[in-house]
Chains A and B, each alone.
Chain A
Amino acid sequence: MNTRRLARLIIWVMLMGLVAGCSVAPRDREPPPSEQGDLTSDPQRPLKGGEAQVPEVVVALVSDANAASSAGDHEQAAVRLERAIRIAPRNAALWQNLAVVRYRQERYAQAESLALKSNSLTADAGLKRQNWLLVAEARRAMGDEAGAREAEAEAKRFAERAAGR
């Protein structure tokens, strides 16, 4: 599988299940069955979210946000996530989740900024890679192909870093 396709696949899976997945407990993390095989065969398991765990206190908020977002109520999801961010403002996973919600709302510029903000709060290569993939997709959606490629190159860099560890 070429890198580009893999990246697309990963971002797709992320967008489907990230809000619950990357961050909180392993519970509602169920990617679409057809992708299950590819996902597990991917040694980097993007949904793990590395060490960036969501603090216990906001787990319920994030899971509510996930439910709302899955039901298409992205505004409610954002409200919950903002509340979680107020409680744990330095948690990169929360900012990433908000970035995903904005992406789902097709608000790509905010999605990109929030993913970059998430990156600025973490040293976790896995999380950074996800963020760069999200940035790449957001840029592509805005018609910035060159920017998207740059972001993909960054993602690749962190993929190697994460694998090397």
Chain B
Amino acid sequence: MAKSTKRRSTKKGSRGSPTRRSAKGRRLPGFWRWSVRLALSGLVVLAAYTAYLDFRITSEFEGKRWAIPARVYARPLELYNGLQLSADNLEREIEALDYARQAGASTPGSYDRRGDTFTLHSRAFEFWDGSEPARRIRLNVGGGEVSALSQPGAAQDPALVRLDPARIGSIYPAKREDRVLVQLGEVPPTLVAGLIAVEDHHFFDHYGLSFTGIARALVANIRAGRVVQGGSTLTQQLVKNFFLTQDRTLWRKANEAVMAVLLELHYDKEEILEAYLNEVYLAQDGSRAIHGFGLASRFYFAKPLQQLDLAEQALLIGMVKGPSYYNPRSNPGRAKDRRDLVLSEMVETGVIDEDAAWRARSSGLGVVPRGRTAVTNYPAFMDLVKRHLRRDYRYEDLSTEGLRIFTTFAPHVQQATERALSRHLERWDEGIEGAAVMVNVDDGEVGAVVGGRDPRYDGFNRALDAHRPIGSLIKPAIYLTALSRPDTYGLGTVLEDKPVTLEDRSGNRWSPRNYDDAFHGQVPLWEALAKSYNVPAVRLGLDLGLPAVTETLVELGGEPPRRVYPSMLLGALPQSPLQVARIYETIASGGFRVPLRAVRGVTTAEGEPLNRYELAVERAFSPESVYLLTTAMQRVVSEGTAQGLARWIPDHVQAAGKTGTTDDTRDSWFAGFTGNRLGVVWVGRDKNGRTGLTGSSGAMQIWGEAFGALDLKPLEPVPPEDIERIWVQSNTGQLAVAGCEGAVELPYVRGHQPADTAPCAKRRGALDRAADWVKGLFE
């Protein structure tokens, strides 16, 4: 790749040619001989030195030029009649796609909205499995559902439209992680033309140096008596930026000039321009230098370079001259004058017309208050993507080969989750943190990850790295263990809620208590889970045996404890929100383990498939036991600790879930699912302090608000063949009939109904027989 490497020269031996003293009184021929020798050796040294400079500049240039970061895409939105999607959520998706609002949506990458009717003009896109053309489509989203999907002008309306995917980030080389590399084609043409107009008028004509520029600068400098102007070309500036020092000696200038010429010999103008755009120093963020227009755009305007309007482009161009002097945050007046000057220059050189310049001049600076330099808006999700890919790819390849990465990221799901989390955390005490993971129930695709209170902060990713005790979120594992033994346990089995004392390993006695500090005597199994009673759960767990519960946990996809203690039954078991999602995913998908996936596939820059991460399932539990558990978990929401969800989630959704709270309200958890989505939320403090929040007053609130903003499918699992519904008396667990006092209807595994029949059912039975007998008399 680097054509220069073979030209490694020796280190420069001397500085300049040593022509200090002329030999006085010597004979002419000798003098000439020596002069020729000197000149020759001077030439050799010069040539070697030039070769050395050539090596330095080309290796520097190549090293940067060849690093094309991987592009990371969200999942494409698929539109079809009947798709549940609110107008708001569609708008979120369009925002993520950076479509411009434009009357009529006549160009690709634009949209128009009138009430609930949207016109979208998608961009052409090369997918894994074929290409999608740019299409102009119209649809209605009234009533939260897509309808009247049409393609005006086409012979036939499409049944299914796949939009181009939103680009959510890039993976950069480790050393240059703080750079938003842009390619020339992506940079607004006005910015490029404006830059050339202002900084280097003759860029396309010169060979690295501009003598008119130098002459002009020289005149100005002589007049001022000091260096006020540097007639540098863009090429020279690029060289200077490669080896940035404060050194402004003539020697350095000369070196730069030589290297500029050398660069021009090796590369064409476009390549040099692209490198310049990514290299130029544009701002200072504390101790960190901001290089390149891509990052500067994020730093000053918090948006990608492609989205800058003319005024914003001109502001950035103006800052090349003096990033701190023209800093729009500290010197807004100066920055504005400079920007307007740039606009005038752009008019003069014909880049824009006076009208456009006038409009741009009248706009504000548009600079965001604090610099945000995260290279992605979704650092927590990107973190998951990188970890996923690191199993199969070397980091160098990911960051330099221009790979295209297709993820499962769902922009509007992420947005809803972020908003719910941030809104609640702001309301609670300072220092309370949170994290959330959202997953598709049936295929295990991760749609959203939030790693903390500030979702843009690229730091500690709590969704993946905060391993915290899960509290009562462990209980479904206990009850599933029981329900997998239908000959002994059913949903109506009565459990004892009476004091119990245990001994831990060091011999300390320990008595679990319920959250409400009361004992409830005899409670049916489903109610013990719905109300999250601790005592019956511990008793049941001990009856089943800790190894059996641990095995269930592992089968569900959880991380087993290193050593098993009874306290595990109350959730003294640290897991990350992502791990909890894995556990609950197995329940939500009907007892099938489904690997959680953040990446669908990877292609080369040219679109050639490299890896696909396919949908895979593995049955882990009998369908009957998971069906029963799901029923009980739906009761958590309908009449148990998660009743409060009714505020956001309509009854007919029949969501299932579980709250979790650990000692002294240090951790607040909620994990729950509907027919299509699973979400896990954790709330707590990084230093493990009290929050004053329970599972329902903390994490569940966030879950509810987030899910309330999403399209939800009712949770209506198909009852397995061997499931029948029977009536069971709550306080005795005996078989009952409809109408018996305290009887509830529950699903049971066929052939495993309670052995005892409640007295009222016996009476009923007798009455029915009597009625039959009477009927028989009359027939």
Binding site for B on A (CB under 8 A): 55-61, 75-76, 78-80, 82-83, 85-87, 89-90, 98, 109-110, 113-114, 116-117, 119-123, 128
A79 to B443, Cβ gap below 8 A?
A: no
> Which residue of B has the minimal Cβ distance to A119?
B623
> Which residue of A has the minimal Cβ distance to B159?
A57
For residue B129, CB closer than 8 A to chain A, the reply is yes
> Which residue of B has the minimal Cβ distance to A87?
B78
> Which residue of A has the minimal Cβ distance to B593?
A113
B572 to chain A, nearest CB (A): 33
A98 to B675, Cβ gap below 8 A?
A: no
- Determine which of A56, A89, A116, A121 lies in contact with B443 in the assembled complex, contact meaning CB atoms within 8 Å: A89
- Determine which of B81, B589, B592, B615 lies in contact with A98 in the assembled complex, contact meaning CB atoms within 8 Å: B615
- Determine which of B80, B590, B616 lies in contact with A120 in the assembled complex, contact meaning CB atoms within 8 Å: B590
B701-724 with Cβ < 8 A to chain A: 713, 717-721
18 A–B contacts from the bound complex (CB under 8 Å): A58-B160, A78-B614, A79-B129, A79-B612, A83-B78, A86-B445, A89-B440, A90-B675, A113-B592, A113-B619, A116-B592, A117-B590, A117-B617, A120-B591, A120-B623, A120-B717, A122-B718, A123-B719
Binding site for A on B (CB under 8 A): 78, 80-82, 128-129, 159-160, 440-443, 445, 589-592, 612, 614-619, 623, 675-676, 713, 717-721
- Whether A80 contacts B159 in the complex (CB less than 8 A), given A87-B80, A116-B619, A117-B592, comes out as no
B403 to chain A, nearest CB (A): 18
Bound-state Cα–Cα, A57 to B616, Å: 23
B159 to A59, Cβ gap below 8 A?
A: yes
A90 to B160, Cβ gap below 8 A?
A: no
- Whether A85 contacts B443 in the complex (CB less than 8 A), given A76-B129, A120-B592, comes out as yes
A56 to chain B, nearest CB (A): 6
> Which residue of A has the minimal Cβ distance to B442?
A89
Contacts of A109 in B (CB 8 A): 618
> Which residue of B has the minimal Cβ distance to A59?
B159
Bound-state Cα–Cα, A78 to B600, Å: 13
A57 to B614, Cβ gap below 8 A?
A: no
A121 to B718, Cβ gap below 8 A?
A: yes
- Determine which of A55, A75, A122 lies in contact with B612 in the assembled complex, contact meaning CB atoms within 8 Å: A75
A60 to B128, Cβ gap below 8 A?
A: no
B160 to A60, Cβ gap below 8 A?
A: yes
Bound-state Cα–Cα, A55 to B82, Å: 10
B756 to chain A, nearest CB (A): 30
A17 to chain B, nearest CB (A): 23
Contacts of A119 in B (CB 8 A): 623
A125 to chain B, nearest CB (A): 9
| Given A109-B618, A110-B616, A113-B618, 4 further pairs, Cβ under 8 A | A79-B129, A85-B615, A120-B591, A120-B718
Bound-state Cα–Cα, A110 to B617, Å: 7
A80 to B129, Cβ gap below 8 A?
A: yes
Bound-state Cα–Cα, A55 to B80, Å: 11
Most buried by A among B80, B82, B129: B129
> Which residue of A has the minimal Cβ distance to B675?
A90
B82 to A114, Cβ gap below 8 A?
A: no
B159 to A86, Cβ gap below 8 A?
A: no
Contacts of A120 in B (CB 8 A): 590-592, 623, 717-718, 720
B598 to chain A, nearest CB (A): 15
Contacts of B717 in A (CB 8 A): 120
Bound-state Cα–Cα, A82 to B78, Å: 13
Contacts of A98 in B (CB 8 A): 615
A84 to chain B, nearest CB (A): 10
Contacts of A82 in B (CB 8 A): 443, 614-615
> Which residue of A has the minimal Cβ distance to B445?
A86
- The list of the 5 closest CB pairs from A to B, nearest first, reads A89-B442, A57-B80, A120-B590, A79-B129, A113-B617
- Determine which of B159, B589, B718 lies in contact with A123 in the assembled complex, contact meaning CB atoms within 8 Å: B718
A79 to B128, Cβ gap below 8 A?
A: yes
> Which residue of B has the minimal Cβ distance to A124?
B718
Most buried by B among A117, A122, A128: A117
A127 to chain B, nearest CB (A): 11
B159 to A60, Cβ gap below 8 A?
A: yes
Contacts of B618 in A (CB 8 A): 109, 113
> Which residue of B has the minimal Cβ distance to A112?
B619
- Whether A85 contacts B442 in the complex (CB less than 8 A), given A117-B617, A120-B590, comes out as yes
Bound-state Cα–Cα, A120 to B721, Å: 9
Contacts of A122 in B (CB 8 A): 718
A56 to B159, Cβ gap below 8 A?
A: yes
Contacts of B590 in A (CB 8 A): 117, 120-121
Bound-state Cα–Cα, A57 to B158, Å: 9
Contacts of B617 in A (CB 8 A): 110, 113-114, 117
